[in-house]
Structure 1
Amino acid sequence: MVLPPEGITAEDYEALPEDICRRIEIVDGAIVVNAAPRRAHQIIARRLANLIEDACGPTFAVATDVDLRMREFPLLNRRPDIVVYDASVTDDAVLRPEDCLLVVEVMSPGSVTADQTDKPAEYAAVGIGHFWRIENSDDGDRRLTVFRYRLDPTTGSYASAGVNVAEMTVSDPFDLAVVFADLY
């Protein structure tokens, strides 16, 4: 694929086949190819999304691995592992930051820089109120750590809302209790 000098536009992206869109993100008009996540990554994201969906009730919807259009030009289109958004958004509408309450990224070996640095800065810059990053331990013992962030309206950046290991009980942005071992 030959990219135009101005990069991929929203129209170009929307014309791509769905099976291609599922594996790419667009950052400043450039295509970023994402490796297929490992099975454990997918299981953790799906199980946590199910728990979040039960916790946040009918006001919010929860989806996994869907497009989030953060900017039109240059195009910035991410695919968070989990996104919690206003349930009144129709299925055919492009998901926008103003619709979102929380985005969650499950970190993989190939997404460390994006998940620790790039995506939190981008999500904060567009005003998404909450961001969680889930990290696996490197020693193979299936120990998860959740880093929770809340948008500071004064600075427009994320401030730590807590770090949880083994389990998590939160009341913001909704009431949720999770034992991390249950996510495997």
Structure 2
Amino acid sequence: MFEAIDWEWLRSSMDAPEVTLEVYAGIPEDLGRRIEVVDGRIIRCESPGPAHQIIQHNLVSALRDAVKQMDAGDQTFHKVVGDIDMLITEVPRLHYRRPDVVVYRCIEFDRGRWHRKPYATDCLLVIEIVSPGTVITDTRDKLAEYAQARVPHYWIVQMAGNDGQAVSIERFRLTVSGKYISDGVALRGTTLHAIDIIDPFTSRVTWEQLDDGI
């Protein structure tokens, strides 16, 4: 019953001229996990496969420890989460994405309808794991959107066979001109570690750690 109501809500919303922040506030929670809003229009997101979800979980777990160490040294406070709505802009039209992994500064106060979820300007790092239906979105559209939103670091994870082991991680860094440049590519079978960095924090993660559970 609830599934039918959710999809009826989605159909009616997709026919609407524009999705505003007020409309966003009324989105059912379970449905909200399956959509993004781009320039005021609902975009339906495909359900990720098992390997995608495992890699996502392992990235969150591994990076959380690294970010904690960074925060302890810098006297800052960040969160590392997966699947959280990230507001890019509210005007002229609502535009938000739901990245696979986000590292963002802690929000200390409620932001009304956006509650304590991050704006893009709060984010230090955003990671997308490429699925069959998100290749162009993750490698072209979001690359441009996140740069324009001034997200300092963006990583793209590619999987074998579209839902297998992680085979590459390309890291992008925002320049002072507001464009991304490649900050390095880790390739399975070529580089020993999937992640081996000192910026924006120190982290070393093996391919086997990302595979755990696949």
Q: Say whether the fold is shared (TM-score over 0.5).
A: yes
Paired residues for 1:48-67 under 5 Å: 48-57=59-68, 58=71, 59-67=77-85
Structure 2 residue aligned with 1:84? 103
Q: Tell me how far 1:143 sits from its aligned partner.
A: 4.7
The runs of at least 4 aligned residues of structure 1 exceeding 6 Å deviation read: none
Answer yes or no: is 1:25 the counterpart of 2:36.
Answer: yes
Structure 2 residue aligned with 1:175? 202
Q: Hey, what's the Cα distance between the residues in 1 that align with 2:106 and 2:84?
A: 15
- Percent pairwise identity: 38
Structure 2 residue aligned with 1:164? 186
Q: Tell me how far 1:33 sits from its aligned partner.
A: 0.4
Q: CA RMSD in A?
A: 1.7
The DSSP-based 3-state class of the residue aligned with 2:208 is helix
Higher Cα radius of gyration: 2
The DSSP-based 3-state class of the residue aligned with 2:161 is coil
> 5+ unaligned residues in a row in structure 2: which ranges?
1-11, 72-76
Q: Tell me how far 1:89 sits from its aligned partner.
A: 4.2
Aligned length: 182
Q: Tell me how far 1:142 sits from its aligned partner.
A: 2.8
Paired residues for 1:128-167 under 5 Å: 128-138=151-161, 142-154=165-177, 156-166=178-188, 167=193
Report the CA distance shift for 1:140/1:27 in structure 2 as closer, same or farther (over 3 A): closer
> 5+ unaligned residues in a row in structure 1: which ranges?
none
- Structure that is richer in strand per residue: 1
Q: Hey, what's the Cα distance between the residues in 1 that align with 2:84 and 2:45?
A: 13
Q: Hey, what's the Cα distance between the residues in 2 that align with 1:42 and 1:82?
A: 11
Report the CA distance shift for 1:147/1:128 in structure 2 as closer, same or farther (over 3 A): same
TM-score, normalised via structure 1 length: 0.92
